[in-house]
Amino acid sequence: MVLYVVGLGLSSEKDITVRGLEAVKSCERVYLEAYTSILMVDTEKLSEFYGKEVVVADREMVESESDKILDGAQEKNVAFLVVGDPFGATTHTDLVIRAHELSIKVEIIHNASIMNAIGACGLQLYNFGQTVSMVFFTPTWRPDSFYDRIKENRDIGLHTLVLLDIKVKEQSFENMARGRKIYEPPRYMTVAQCAEQMLEIEELRGEGVYTPNTIAIGVSRIGSHDQRIVTGTLQELSEADLGPPLHSLVLLGSRVHELEVDYIRAFALNKETFEQVVALEHNKKAS
């Protein structure tokens, strides 16, 4: 019997592959990982389309109670569904390792993820460097390790994909300390919040890795019928509203190709500002 780790794609219940759907229909139990990303339909709709009850697996179950998911997988097929591609988060690697330790056969069924679908913004995928994550800042915690990774990318001219934080089934420090199973409402970082935090760290670090006038691309709901793609300066994006989640941001590298510029020009929030910044960057390279 098999543990199927199935990528669901980015948007609707119909984004699952034919192979993935066949695997799900063969399973005794079906789990949906529901904290590293979200699908844009509810669980009931998935259950109806797959013809199987879908059990939501939160962070606690996946990271601390994986035996519940793997229980009986030596005798019956079990599916673990992942929004995007199965290996978009290291947690899923841990589950596969655990299955191998228990001599459970594992089959991975891939799908589209933000890591390749970001090509929809017009930038060439092989011009991307390290992907970084942006977490929600708190009054006492404002991590800036992302800044160093962006600097490394920009030093060699590469674009940076920034994945934005989501908070699902999170506890406040007080409730956690008191052992109360009370959870905060879900929160999803926006492009505007990400750009604002990036500008704050640039002001603190002052190393000129990027500026308020650096061109970036904000995307939301990539892969859906109402996806949005906008190009602007970080300052412009810090004030932009891209609607409901999920959002991501791309910071342009210095080696941006002319064809890439031509493509992203169509998404400019302010055409005049865009042309001014592009001309300025062109003059810098020429001098």
Q: What is the pLDDT of residues 243-280, one digit of tens each?
A: 999 999 999 998 899 999 999 999 999 999 999 998 88
Between 63 and 164, the more confident residue is 164
Helix and strand numbers, DSSP H then E, in the chain: 12, 12
What pLDDT score was predicted for residue 77?
Answer: 96
| Rounded Cα distance, 286 and 204, in Å | 30
Task: Say which amino acid occupies 263.
Answer: Y
Please give the Cα distance from 75 to 101 (Å, whole number): 16
Average pLDDT over residues 210-215: 95
Question: What pLDDT does residue 170 have?
Answer: 64
DSSP H helical segments within 127-168, as ranges?
Answer: 145-155
Q: Which residues contact 266 (CB under 8 A, 6 or more apart)?
A: none
Mean pLDDT over 217-240 rounds to: 97
Residue 265: which of 122, 84, 103, 60 has the closest Cα? 122
pLDDT level of residue 65 (50, 70, 90 thresholds): confident
The whole-angstrom separation of Cα 87 and Cα 43 is 21
Residue type, 18: V
The answer to whether 88 and 37 are in contact (CB under 8 A) is: yes
Please enumerate, by residue number, every residue annotated as part of a binding site.
Answer: 10, 85, 88, 113-114, 164, 247
Q: Residue 258, class by beta-carbon neighbours within 10 Å (0-12 exposed, 13-18 middle, 19+ buried)? A: exposed
Which of 153, 135, 239 minimizes the C-alpha distance to 195? 239
pLDDT of residue 84: 92
Question: What pLDDT is stored for residue 273 in this prediction?
Answer: 93
Token pair belonging to 260:
């890439």
**Residue in 37, 35, 46 with CA at minimum distance from that of residue 13:** 46
The better pLDDT of the pair 167, 52 is held by 52
Task: Note the pTM of the prediction, 2 decimals.
Answer: 0.91
How many residues in the chain?
287
Q: Residues 22-44, buried b or exposed e (16+ Cβ, 10 A)?
A: ebbeebebbbbbbbbbebbbebe
Q: Which pLDDT score is estimated for 66?
A: 79
**109 pLDDT more than 90:** yes
Q: CATH for 2-112, among 2.60.40.790, 3.40.1550.20, 3.40.1010.10, 3.40.50.1000?
A: 3.40.1010.10
pLDDT category of residue 41 using cuts at 50, 70 and 90: confident
Mean pLDDT across 62-68? 75
Tokens representing residue 257 in the block: 């190709």
For range 21-42, the mean pLDDT? 89
pLDDT surpassing 90 at residue 143: yes
Q: What's residue 183's pLDDT?
A: 63
- Residue 97 has a CB neighbour count (10 Å cut-off) of 11
Contact call for residues 5 and 17 (beta carbons, < 8 A): no
Q: Do domains 2-112 and 115-286 have the same CATH topology?
A: no
- Give residue 108's identity as a one-letter amino acid code: I
Count CB atoms within 10 A of the CB of residue 172.
12
SS3 108: strand
Annotated binding site for S-adenosyl-L-methionine: 10, 85, 88, 113-114, 164, 247
**CB of 238 within 8 A of CB of 159?**
no
Exposed (0-12), middle (13-18) or buried (19+): which is 175, by Cβ within 10 Å? middle
Q: What residue spans define the domains of the chain? A: 2-112, 115-286
Across 162-187, average pLDDT = 73
* Non-local CB neighbours of 193 within 8 Å, separated by 6+ positions: 136, 164
pLDDT of 36 > 90? The answer is no
* Fold of the 115-286 domain: 3.30.950
Confidence of residue 176 (pLDDT cuts 50, 70, 90): low
